[in-house]
Amino acid sequence: MPEGQGGFSWSSPCNTTQGMPEGQGGFKKGEKMNRQRFLKTGVLAAAGATSLTCKAAAQEDVSAIIAREMKRSESDYVVYVPKSVDGSTFDNGNEHFLVFDGPDGSLMAVWTQSTAEGAGDHRIMFVRSTDEGLTWSSPQRIAGPARKGEGNQASWGFPMVSASGRIYVVYNQYQGIHDYHHQVTGTMDCIYSDDAGKTWSRPGTIPMKRSPLDHPDTSYPSNWIVWQKPVKDLSGRWYTGFTRWVSRAVRTKPLSKSWTEDESVTEFMRYENIDDNPEPKDIRISWFAFGDRALRVGHYHNPLLSVCQEPSIVRLPDDRLFCTMRTMTAYIWYSLSDDDGESWCAPRPLLRRDHGRPILEPLFCCPVYRMSDGRYLLVHHPEFGGVDPGKTGGPESNRRPAYIAVGEYRPGAEQPLWFSESRLLMDNGGHGIGPLNRVDIGGYTSFTTRGGNDVLWHPERKFFLLGKKITREMVKGM
């Protein structure tokens, strides 16, 4: 699986509209669901059961659970709150949350929603705010099924806006056949809107170049995910990095069955003609760090097998591109491009400064963003102490708390961004919520800077969609 999964078991039934066990917002530690049934069917009930089980003596109203749990990260904006905590409303999975500047001056956002990650009913959602994120429109499903069984899922949408204001949303479209995983193997599909998101085109497919890392059978689509908003190159074209999972047919042999040892590399693509408002079939892509030139980082106990994922790109004051990536080494890696993304240097560990210590991170996203003051914000999760960087599932996940470090540009340095010591940004106390009892925080984020207001938008526990201000006081002295 591209992400860790949690689980439950069943005991006596209870009414989920009345509540869930106190202190969890989902399930008490030790309760384990029939995970295989859930991931296969998307139905959160055991055979013969009519509702999710919990201990009747510890019931609490769902609205009270949601209100309590939403406060844990001390965020400043609320974009979306699920309607249940047990998946019964098919909206408990919310992730890959990308907030962007709309062509009409509004804030807009797209994200991937589901019953829960892995349920097979991923869909792309869209919202809009005309008051700088204080309130948001009702969510609009723009691609993918409303629930499992109503069509093939659509995952990991990301936006690009053309010069005329056309909004493109590109996403991974499952076609009913998968190589690596059903939420990763897919065609590159696209929809667009010419009226600020009020209406959307029919989906179309963007041609993808076949890679030597793809399945030799061309009936299998590529295995790929774009997780961050594309950036503009120096000529105004949209440019992004992406994770490519190596086909099981050609991958380096893993030493275990863990998803954290599934081979992956980082590559890049440039959308050449978005400003011409092309139909999806006519969109042209140039590919970089492609195939044998892909960025690779060896797994800590299987160094010939690469785990190099989730690139995050910023531009430096000298116009070079700087890219961070997650790996299975227990620390962040980075690469540089001095030709506007057409070539990249071999990855190397991200240090606090030249000859400094590496910045710790499990196998989780570690984005870097440019703040309004010109410095750089790095989000990471160092408390796992470098032990077992792949332990991602359930209440003992290493994907919390979230920390930040501030980077400053150092001209002439070998590593051009030097980072402060890290400071705690937010946590949820390890309280699980949702069908998968997730506790991860500060992952699959995006960042906006509008009028000097810096906001980190985050899918808290892949459940709530929230925004947290990054204020001058928060980064003072860093």
CATH code, domain carrying 354: 2.120.10.10
Q: How sure is the predictor about 398, in pLDDT bands with cuts at 50, 70 and 90?
A: confident
Q: Of 107-121, 304-318, 346-360, 372-386, which gets the smallest average pLDDT?
A: 372-386
- Cα atoms found within 13 Å of the Cα of residue 347, Cβ hemisphere only: 27
Residues 6+ apart with CB under 8 A from 19: 54, 59, 60, 61, 62, 64, 65
Tell me the three state secondary structure of residue 208: coil
| Tens-place pLDDT, residues 184-239 | 999 999 999 999 999 999 999 999 999 999 999 999 999 999 999 999 999 999 99
Question: Rounded to whole angstroms, how far apart are CA atoms 172 and 154?
Answer: 6
| Tens-place pLDDT, residues 264-286 | 999 999 999 999 999 999 999 99
Q: How sure is the predictor about 393, in pLDDT bands with cuts at 50, 70 and 90?
A: low
- Residue 48: inside a domain, yes or no? no
Tell me what pLDDT residue 60 has.
72
Instruction: State CA 234 to chain mean position distance.
Output: 26
Question: Rounded to whole angstroms, how far apart are CA atoms 213 and 264?
Answer: 9
Residues 6+ apart with CB under 8 A from 278: 284
| Tens-place pLDDT, residues 113-172 | 999 998 999 999 999 999 999 999 999 999 999 999 999 999 999 999 999 999 999 999
| pLDDT at position 351 over 70 | yes
Of residues 372, 476, 468, 373, the one with CA closest to residue 425: 468
String of DSSP letters for 287-318:
EES-GGGSB--EETTEEEEE-EEEEEEEE-TT
Q: How sure is the predictor about 111, in pLDDT bands with cuts at 50, 70 and 90?
A: very high
Q: Is residue 375 exposed (0-12), middle (13-18) or buried (19+ Cβ within 10 Å)?
A: middle
Question: For residue 84, what are the domain limits?
Answer: 76-469
- Residue 402: inside a domain, yes or no? yes
Model-wide pTM > 0.85 = yes
Average pLDDT over the chain, rounded to an integer: 88
Tell me what pLDDT residue 46 has.
31
| pLDDT at position 51 over 60 | no
- Residue 81: inside a domain, yes or no? yes
Q: How sure is the predictor about 69, in pLDDT bands with cuts at 50, 70 and 90?
A: very high
Q: Determine what percent of the chain is predicted with pLDDT higher than 90.
A: 83
Tell me what pLDDT residue 332 has.
98
Q: How sure is the predictor about 28, in pLDDT bands with cuts at 50, 70 and 90?
A: very low
Tell me what pLDDT residue 237 has.
98
| pLDDT at position 445 over 60 | yes
The residues pairing with 111 across neighbouring beta strands, listed in sequence order, are: 125
Q: What torsion do the CA atoms of 469, 393, 38, 89 make, to the nearest 10 degrees?
A: -20
Tell me what pLDDT residue 109 has.
98
- Residue 12: inside a domain, yes or no? no
- Cα atoms found within 13 Å of the Cα of residue 360, Cβ hemisphere only: 18
Tell me the three state secondary structure of residue 276: helix
- Residue 292: inside a domain, yes or no? yes
Average confidence (pLDDT) over 49-71: 64
- Residue 224: inside a domain, yes or no? yes
| pLDDT at position 263 over 60 | yes
Tell me what pLDDT residue 392 has.
61
The residues pairing with 351 across neighbouring beta strands, listed in sequence order, are: 358
Q: Determine what percent of the chain is predicted with pLDDT higher than 70.
A: 85
The number of beta carbons lying within 10 Å of the beta carbon of residue 282 is: 12
Q: How sure is the predictor about 32, in pLDDT bands with cuts at 50, 70 and 90?
A: very low
Number of domains in the chain: 1
413 contacts 443 by C-beta, under 8 angstroms: no
| pLDDT at position 317 over 60 | yes
- Residue 365: inside a domain, yes or no? yes
- Residue 20: inside a domain, yes or no? no
What contacts 24+ positions apart, CB below 8 Å, involve 203-207? 203/143, 203/173, 203/280, 204/279, 204/280, 204/281, 205/173, 205/280, 205/281, 206/170, 206/280, 206/281, 206/283, 206/285, 207/281, 207/283, 207/285
